[in-house]
Structure 1
Amino acid sequence: MPELRPLRSVLYIPASKTSALQKAVDLPTDAIIFDLEDAVAPDQKDDARKALVAMLREADHGARMRIVRVNDAATEWGAADVTAVADLPIDALLVPKVNGPDDVARVAGALTGPTRVWAMMETAEGILNAASIARAPGIGGFVLGTNDLAEELGCRPGPDRLPLMTALQTCLLAARMAGIPCIDGVYNAFRDEDRLRAECVQGRDLGMDGKSLIHPGQIAVANEVFAPSDTEIELARRQIAAYESATARGQGVAVLDGRIVENLHVESARRTLARADAIAGAGN
């Protein structure tokens, strides 16, 4: 399983929007993706990079994970982006359109300290190479780029996202194999809270660690859905207590509410409590 750092809400913020960068320090999001790629117009890329570098050297974002999405290496801005942020106090550098492990290695070699490479999983080739990407040295996590992926596939995802399900689950399988986080793609209609909630619930039930977001108004829903509920926390505590009581009597399993409780259930229960503690500690 990935580290228990909360990643329920992962908000994209355009690096070209100074006011948004300043407000980010007060947002209750678990992670911020400072975006130099899609959210920044070509004629603003250089200025946005300079402003972002200055801000990241001084601003305090508390426990929030700080991620910078750079431009693709094939563009005129990609190499300069990596060079500019390589030694900044950030947690991860998000690389767009990762097709294979070589794309991770190319960036990982330029980074210093604990900064990891995160991969945008948004191409057909990348999805088919998810397992090898997840094993690449320096990899730290996956973010699903469902808009770009749907465009390349030529599919039409509806509310159930069935046309993307193979890709979502392939990336999740690879991430779990490697023990790295996997963050679900964005929901575009940011004012439609009901559909956002439904998509967050679907992602959570699939096993995603959180949801990437395009608007601060989406944070509360993602934080709620991807956090253990009070009912789940209480059940986890009862499962642990029942199992410990059973093992103290020399029994290998317990029965709680008519259901068997084995060691694997207890391990899951302890992860639930650990996630709840991590969220409480983060203060979001």
Structure 2
Amino acid sequence: MADLRLRRSVLYMPGSNQRALEKARTLPADALILDLEDAVAPEAKEIAREQVCAAIAQGGYGDRELIIRVNAPQTPWGEADLKAAIEARPDAILMPKVSSPAVLESIANRLEALDAPESIDVWAMIETPASILNIKEVAASRRTVPGARLTCLVLGTNDLAKDTWAQIVKGRAPMMPWIMFALAAARAEGLTILDGVFNDIGDVDGCREECRQARDLGFDGKTIIHPSQIEPANTCFAPSAEEVARARKVIEAFDLPENARRGAIKIDGRMYERQHIGMARRAVSWHEAISARDR
């Protein structure tokens, strides 16, 4: 079964905003992306790097997963970002614009050269047309690139829209082929995959609708850009009480001795096959992980 670490709400926090970094310690987001890239102006890159590393060293984030998004290696800040991130020891480093396995191979070599702790994973931003065209190979880098450390794909829908001229519209029809292709590639390789951001921070209902869509499509969670979006993401990516009750009923029914050799059974007028057991157990495990977090 895939990693069940909660990533329902993954909040971008600009590294240049000291107040935001402090506030993040009290927010109920599952994970935090401490951003050195898009959310930080060029003149603030160095102070952002210092503040993010100091914040991680200070601690106080509880069991929230901490990820540092660095600038690309070819930028003036990329190498310094990577070195500082390794010293800070976040849970993962998020690499922007991963458009081919070669990018991950280069990062793997740098992590080895810099003696990065094995505990640091690599997340990959999927945000260019080349990323989509090469998504199968990028996802497979988890296996094919020595030391790749790849565990998660993150959709960058704003950059995809910029580079393709696709419109960001309700329902996201222009992007749906790319979204599902990336999701299939992630699932084929056992990777976590996170949906892109919802831009209108004043439209909580719209955010909720897109979170619900992302969960229906199969995402593990959603990247978000404002604290007001945490609750919609956490709620939509949690199984409902009805789903959990039904899942437990399916598990219990197939565990009965009389159903031990049956491939399909009827429960409350609906047919369930043995493949539904795994889906049911995933729902229950997800619910239990959320309950443990709430406690």
Could you state the TM-score of these two structures normalised by the residue count of structure 2? 0.93
Secondary structure of 2:228's counterpart equals helix
Specify the alignment match of 1:265 in structure 2: 276
Shift of 1:252: 3.6
Q: Which amino acid aligns with 1:272?
A: A
Specify the alignment match of 2:105 in structure 1: 105
Specify the alignment match of 1:278 in structure 2: 289
Shift of 1:213: 0.3
**Aligned-pair identity (%):** 43
Q: 1:260 to 1:34 in 2, by over 3 A?
A: same
- The answer to whether residue 43 in structure 2 is matched with residue 43 in structure 1 is yes
Q: Which of 218, 224, 248 pairs up with 2:235?
A: 224
The answer (yes or no) to whether the contact 2:89–2:117 under 8 Å persists in 1 is no
* Aligned pairs (5 A) from 1:132-147: 132-136=137-141, 137-147=148-158
Q: Deviations over 1:75-100 (max 9, x none)?
A: 10011100111132311100111111
Secondary structure of 1:86's counterpart equals helix
The answer (yes or no) to whether the contact 1:247–1:253 under 8 Å persists in 2 is no
Moved more, 195-204 or 244-253: 244-253
Q: Which amino acid aligns with 1:42?
A: P
Distance across 1 between alignment mates of 2:261 and 2:164: 55
Q: Deviations over 1:190-227 (max 9, x none)?
A: 11011111111111111011110000110001000000
Distance across 2 between alignment mates of 1:62 and 1:32: 11
Q: 1:259 to 1:153 in 2, by over 3 A?
A: same
- The answer to whether residue 130 in structure 2 is matched with residue 125 in structure 1 is yes
Q: Deviations over 1:9-30 (max 9, x none)?
A: 0000000111111111111001
Mind listing any 5+ residue stretches in structure 1 that lack a counterpart? Answer: none
Specify the alignment match of 1:153 in structure 2: 164
Q: Which amino acid aligns with 1:70?
A: V
Count of residue pairs the alignment pairs up: 284
Distance across 1 between alignment mates of 2:31 and 2:202: 21
The answer (yes or no) to whether the contact 1:242–1:255 under 8 Å persists in 2 is no
- The answer to whether residue 68 in structure 2 is matched with residue 68 in structure 1 is yes
Distance across 1 between alignment mates of 2:31 and 2:291: 15
Q: 1:89 to 1:249 in 2, by over 3 A?
A: closer
Secondary structure of 2:11's counterpart equals strand
Shift of 1:108: 2.7
Shift of 1:74: 1.8
Q: Which of 190, 194, 198 pairs up with 1:187?
A: 198
Moved more, 120-129 or 1-10: 1-10
Specify the alignment match of 2:144 in structure 1: none
Q: 1:43 to 1:254 in 2, by over 3 A?
A: same
Shift of 1:267: 1.0
Moved more, 116-125 or 133-142: 133-142
Q: Which amino acid aligns with 1:117?
A: V
Shift of 1:241: 1.4
Distance across 2 between alignment mates of 1:155 and 1:280: 39
Shift of 1:246: 5.8
Q: 1:249 to 1:217 in 2, by over 3 A?
A: closer
- Point out which structure has higher relative CO (alpha carbons under 8 A, 6+ apart): 1
Could you state the TM-score of these two structures normalised by the residue count of structure 1? 0.96
- The answer to whether residue 26 in structure 2 is matched with residue 26 in structure 1 is yes
The answer (yes or no) to whether the contact 1:16–1:51 under 8 Å persists in 2 is yes
Secondary structure of 2:87's counterpart equals coil
Moved more, 201-210 or 274-283: 274-283
Mind listing any 5+ residue stretches in structure 2 that lack a counterpart? Answer: 142-147
Secondary structure of 1:97's counterpart equals coil
Secondary structure of 2:219's counterpart equals coil
Q: Which amino acid aligns with 1:119?
A: A
Distance across 2 between alignment mates of 1:243 and 1:249: 7
